[in-house]
Amino acid sequence: MLLSIAGIDGSGKSTQVREVLKRLSRFPLKVECAKVDFHATLSIFDLANHLRGTPDDYHPWIPPVLREFTVACDVLRYSQDKLTQLVERCDVVLWDRGPLCYRSYASAYGVTDRHVSVIYDLVAKPDLTILIDLPAEAVVERIMMRGEKPAKMDENLEFLRVVRQCYLDIARKDARCIVINGERATAAVTDDILSLCRERIPGLGVLHYQMP
């Protein structure tokens, strides 16, 4: 099973990956986490830092189609080189982000380039994508409280509203994507994710046991 956890920045994706991993580790399953290794995209950040004095100030100074094409190439390379091997040797792979995330952000930036779209068509498709949805206002509040990691240039209310709508629009067209309410307590969101795994992937019968 390849399970992708998606959502706008600050929605709790990485937190849920850790929590789901912790829960599943109580059972005789081989579970690993996956997250794209960005290599070419780092050059975009270096260029932004050279032009603007900070790696986060890349929009609109560096053409969105160039950035998103570079991101897509990194995602595809990770999918082909590492992700497929993880899926082959594990019972469950928890993918922090995934195709829905990258397509949604490309759409929010207005990138409709055919090459970007075709690249994502070649990326491994999750068996189930969980979209953790919450209003942009709530996300901005979380980001402002995130003292150890300052907000990036594109983590503003106006843009995150656009990103959220792009997520929802794309998710509605994918039968393997389920939207859940991310405004609740972390444990409640984790419970929902595990419940959806049981419903959608009956082969993972071990998940039918009562979670401690």
Cα 212 from Cα 70, distance rounded (Å): 43
11 is in an annotated binding site: yes
Cα 140 from Cα 137, distance rounded (Å): 5
Q: Which three-class secondary structure state does DSSP give residue 94? A: strand
Element (H, E) at 4: strand 2-6
195 is in an annotated binding site: no
Q: Which three-class secondary structure state does DSSP give residue 161? A: helix
Q: Count Cβ atoms within 10 A of the Cβ of residue 15 and give its class: 0-12 exposed, 13-18 middle, 19 or more buried.
A: middle
174 is in an annotated binding site: no
Length of the chain in terms of residues written: 212
Position 26, amino acid: R
User: Rounded to a whole number, what is the largest CA-CA distance in the chain?
Assistant: 55
13 is in an annotated binding site: yes
12 is in an annotated binding site: yes
Residue ranges for the known binding site are 7-14
Residue ranges for the known binding site for ATP are 7-14
